[in-house]
């Protein structure tokens, strides 16, 4: 449901550079996805160079022993499932095949004039590079939209390779990746698609798996965009980053030691560091918090009474009724592993206000025409459901399913420029992939944004509270989960927002409350009147959390498993 499709008659023709008809799994996923989106594979450009057979003794002599450890482990230990070899699921009948011999000049490869002319005559719109090495020359302009290639690092920091390696080595929390239209500049082409993922610091294989799997969907996204708008504009990279190379044996020994330490930290946090969140109130409007210094001190925040040792409160949102502030929050219970939506009162503490069999969180509040609505996260229900408040008993009851068949995370709904805009991520990519839907009515028929997912960035995709307008400009709080889940809130100024365009720019951060008990994270900033509601967390051991994590690792079902 969340994938866009090209309009009839607007498909693109593409070719693939390869070493034969066998591909890595992530590459076949990319090609098959293009076919599902209606784009047509018409050409295979095959590397015709053959590898001469040599004796085992001679092959040993030719090995580059200075990087032997990486080469050995890459093929036997670090190889992800995404690199498993497989064949295409789509038929290749009618697909032309061109076997090419290239001329080697230094580290670059050049195609012959005859081969370039053949490719031009095939009238392909673009060529995916899944074979050959560093290519330059006329081949780069043989297709209408050039040659598309992947670089699974942030090209502004790391050119060269290996993919996803130096981020772990350098303890970089974010691993960028790009799909570019190649130019003669190494890893500095025209950026067709870019994403930022959290580095899997404890597993090189896991880091590669996520990079390859996520980026395999990008060719179809870009092809769809070009099919809708042949004049689409893309930026050229301005990288001056250093070129990294395959690590030597000593660096690999250091790398293995770092992996071990990272894995020990990962399992320590995974079993022994349960999160304890609480809700706080700041007596300032949201724009002063979000666009200020980004630093809250202990004295700025009034923390609510905690929910008990085995519970926590998070994701606050609120509304004012009869001059009284009402605060809604997620109330999570470690004993059951289930969360619900409660109203927080100074007298009685949390009172449940939504009855549901599903895990609920992030109670986003909307007010319209004197009525109060709540849009909670309920990904387990596979729907985004709008609830309406009954003023007599304070309960919220289902009003309408806005979008079905989606595992939405942190749905955020607001009115802007004559339309209702619904932002959320999805469970599979809860911290990285931002989706937008829109409608002209609050409960109306919501349509997907043409560019979904409009953003892939672990630092600023997932919604984190109330979008707001200040001095005529729209701002959107988003979670920065690059270092830790809910580490801080990034504030973005929305520069473009329409049914086909979206662009935003980070303008600041809201950091965890310094000097407070809850200083290890902050992932919600909600405005209500002249107040701002936030949350914060710290860590402690919880036996229920430990048992549930152990059951999850051992695949044992227990009460409250979600």
What percent of the chain is predicted at pLDDT more than 90?
Answer: 84
Q: Rounded to an integer, what distance in angstroms lies between the CA atom of residue 526 and that of residue 343? A: 15
**Residue that has been written with the tokens 């009147």 in this structure:** 529
Rounded to an integer, the average pLDDT of 158-183 is 97
Is residue 9 pLDDT above 60, yes or no? no
The confidence score (pLDDT) of residue 562 equals 28
Give the model's pLDDT for residue 94. Answer: 84
Task: Name the band, by pLDDT with cuts 50, 70 and 90, for residue 347.
Answer: low
**Is the predicted pLDDT of residue 121 greater than 90, yes or no?**
yes
Q: What is the pLDDT of residue 185?
A: 85
The pTM of the full predicted model, rounded to 2 decimals, is 0.93
Quote the tokens at residue 296: 């809250």
Confidence class for position 8, pLDDT limits 50, 70, 90 = very low
Predicted pLDDT of residue 444:
87
The confidence score (pLDDT) of residue 553 equals 83
Report yes or no: 139 and 147 within 8 Å, Cβ to Cβ. yes
Rounded distance, CA 148 to CA 513, Å? 45
CA gap 293, 475 in Å, rounded: 16
Identify the helix (H) or strand (E) that includes residue 368. strand 361-368
Indicate the domain borders of the chain. 13-266, 274-414+426-433+454-553
* Amino acid 230: pLDDT: 77
Tell me the pLDDT tens digit for each residue of 447-489: 999 999 999 999 999 999 999 999 999 999 999 999 999 999 9
Rounded to an integer, the average pLDDT of 422-445 is 97
CA distance 453 to 462: 12
Give me the DSSP letters along 178-207: EEEE--SSTT-SEEEEEEEEE--TT-HHHH
pLDDT of 231 > 80? The answer is no
* pLDDT(3) > 60: no
Q: Is the pLDDT of residue 350 over 70?
A: yes
Q: Distances from the Cα of 52 to the Cαs of 47, 75, 101, 167, in angstroms?
A: 14, 21, 15, 35
Q: Which fold has domain 274-414+426-433+454-553?
A: Tachylectin-2; Chain A (2.115.10)
Q: Is the peptide bond before 557 cis (omega within 30 degrees of 0)?
A: no
Q: What is the pLDDT of residues 35-70, one digit of tens each?
A: 999 999 999 999 998 655 555 555 545 567 899 999
The CATH code of the domain at 13-266 is: 3.40.50.170
Query: In terms of DSSP bridges, do strands 473-480 and 488-497 run parallel, antiparallel, or are they unpaired?
Result: antiparallel
Stretch 431-453: mean pLDDT: 96
Token pair belonging to 123: 């009238």
pLDDT, tens digit (0-9, with 9 covering 90-100), for 273-324: 999 999 999 999 999 999 988 889 999 999 998 777 899 999 999 999 988 9
How much is the average pLDDT of 116-124? 97
| Residue 274 near residue 545 (C-beta atoms within 8 A) | yes
Residues 53, 47: Cα–Cα separation, whole Å: 17
What pLDDT, on a 0 to 100 scale, did the predictor assign at position 59?
54
* Owner of token pair 């025209």: 190
Taking only the tens place, the pLDDT of each residue in 97-117 is: 999 999 999 889 999 999 999
Return the minimum-mean-pLDDT range out of 145-149, 259-263, 355-359, 491-495: 355-359
For 191, residues 6+ apart whose C-beta sits below 8 A from its C-beta are 178, 179, 180, 234, 235, 236, 237
Per-residue pLDDT at 396: 97
Give the least confident one: 336-340, 434-438, 460-464: 336-340
Residue 18 · residue 131 · CB < 8 Å: yes
pLDDT at 351: 92
Q: According to the model, what pLDDT value does residue 61 have?
A: 52
- Please, are residues 470 and 287 in contact by the beta-carbon 8 Å criterion? yes
- Give the phi and the psi of residue 166 in degrees, each rounded to 5: -70, -20
């Amino acid at each position: 449901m969340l994938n866009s499709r090209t309009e009839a008659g607007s498909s693109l023709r593409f070719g693939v550079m390869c070493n034969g008809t066998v591909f890595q799994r992530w590459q076949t996923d990319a090609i098959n996805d293009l076919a599902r989106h209606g784009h047509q594979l018409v050409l295979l450009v095959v590397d015709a160079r053959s590898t001469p057979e040599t004796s085992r003794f001679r092959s040993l002599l030719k090995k580059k022993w200075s990087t032997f450890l990486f080469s050995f482990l890459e093929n036997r230990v670090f190889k992800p499932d995404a690199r498993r070899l497989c064949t295409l699921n789509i038929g290749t009948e009618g697909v032309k095949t061109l076997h090419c011999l290239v001329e080697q000049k230094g580290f670059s490869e050049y195609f012959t004039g005859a081969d370039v002319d053949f490719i031009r005559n095939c009238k392909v719109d673009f060529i995916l590079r899944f074979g050959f090495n560093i290519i330059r020359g006329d081949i780069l302009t043989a297709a209408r939209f050039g040659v598309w290639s992947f670089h699974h690092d942030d090209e502004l920091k790391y050119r060269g390779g290996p993919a996803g390696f130096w981020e772990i080595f350098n303890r970089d929390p974010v691993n960028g990746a790009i799909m570019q239209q190649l130019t003669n500049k190494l890893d500095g082409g025209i950026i067709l698609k870019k994403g930022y993922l959290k580095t899997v610091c404890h597993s090189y294989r896991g880091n590669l798996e996520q990079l390859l799997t996520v980026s395999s969907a990008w060719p179809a996204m870009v092809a769809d965009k070009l099919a809708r708008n042949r004049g689409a504009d893309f930026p050229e990279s301005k990288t001056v980053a250093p070129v990294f190379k395959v690590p030597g044996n000593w660096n690999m020994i250091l790398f293995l030691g770092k992996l071990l330490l990272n894995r020990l930290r990962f399992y320590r946090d995974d079993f022994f560091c349960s999160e304890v969140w609480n809700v706080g109130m700041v007596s300032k409007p949201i724009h002063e918090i979000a666009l200020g210094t980004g630093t809250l001190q202990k004295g700025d925040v009034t923390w609510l009474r905690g929910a008990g040792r085995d519970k926590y409160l998070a994701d606050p949102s609120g509304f004012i009724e009869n001059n009284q502030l009402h605060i809604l929050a997620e109330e999570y219970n470690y004993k059951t592993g289930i969360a619900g939506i409660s109203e927080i009162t100074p007298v009685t503490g949390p009172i449940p206000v939504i009855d549901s069999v599903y895990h609920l969180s992030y109670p986003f509040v909307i007010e319209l025409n004197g009525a109060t609505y709540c849009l909670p996260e309920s990904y387990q229900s596979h729907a985004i459901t709008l609830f309406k408040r009954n003023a007599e008993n304070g309960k919220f009851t289902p009003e309408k399913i806005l979008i079905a068949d989606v595992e939405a995370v942190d749905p955020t709904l607001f009115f802007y420029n004559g339309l209702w805009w619904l932002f959320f991520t999805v469970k599979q990519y809860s911290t990285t992939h931002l989706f937008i839907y829109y409608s002209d009515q609050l409960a109306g028929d919501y349509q997907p944004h043409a560019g979904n997912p409009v953003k892939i960035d672990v630092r600023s995709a997932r919604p984190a509270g109330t979008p707001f307008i200040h001095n005529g400009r729209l701002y959107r709080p988003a979670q920065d989960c690059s270092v830790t889940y809910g580490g801080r809130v990034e504030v973005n100024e929305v520069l473009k927002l329409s049914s086909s365009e979206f662009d935003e720019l980070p303008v600041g951060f809201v950091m965890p409350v310094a000097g407070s008990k809850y200083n290890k994270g902050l992932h919600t900033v909600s405005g209500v009147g002249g107040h701002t509601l936030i949350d914060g967390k710290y860590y402690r051991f919880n036996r229920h959390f430990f048992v549930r994590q152990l059951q999850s690792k051992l695949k044992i079902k227990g009460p409250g498993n979600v």
